[in-house]
């Protein structure tokens, strides 16, 4: 990561900031990012960012399946088999969305239930 940070301008201090003594904490290259705040050098931050990306990806895929199911429903022309397929696609898309939203909320609020004390877990 440091090699990438050295090759990209204005990212030199992003991965080498030590907020404990402000060593290497320069001005933030990203607007809204507080200098010295958590970055992607810790596993928890990477997992949190990946969960957010996965959640938005699943939301997009669910929207796609809902639109696809609605299109199939409209173009079914009263055929019972095609109507059943379209209804099943919409139903499973909503069930998948519900499962992902519940798992995302559980993962998000697990941090509040079990707060990090820093350092090793023992």
Three-state secondary structure string covering the chain: CHHHHHHCCCCCCCCCCECCCCECCCCCCCCCCCCCCCCCCCHHHHHHHHHHHHHHHHHHHHHHHHHHHHHHHHCCCCCHHHHHHHHHHHHHHHHHHHHHHHHHHHHHHHHHHCCCCCCCCC
Reported pTM: 0.55
**pLDDT digit string (tens) for 25-69?**
555 554 555 444 556 677 777 877 888 888 889 889 999 999 999
43-53, pLDDT tens digit by residue? Answer: 777 877 888 88
Domain spans of the chain, in order of start: 1-41, 42-114
Say yes or no to pLDDT of 82 above 90: yes
């Amino acid at each position: 990561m440091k090699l990438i940070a050295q090759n990209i301008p204005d990212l030199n201090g992003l991965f080498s900031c030590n907020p404990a003594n402000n060593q290497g904490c320069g001005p933030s290259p990203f607007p809204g990012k507080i200098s010295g705040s958590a970055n992607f050098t810790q596993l928890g931050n990477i997992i949190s960012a990946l969960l957010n990306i996965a959640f938005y990806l699943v939301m997009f895929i669910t929207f796609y399946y809902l639109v696809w199911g609605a299109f199939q429903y409209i173009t079914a022309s009263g055929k019972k088999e095609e109507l059943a397929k379209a209804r099943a696609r919409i139903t499973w898309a909503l069930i998948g969305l519900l499962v992902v939203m519940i798992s995302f909320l559980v993962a998000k609020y697990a941090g509040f239930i079990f707060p990090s004390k820093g350092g090793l877990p023992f």
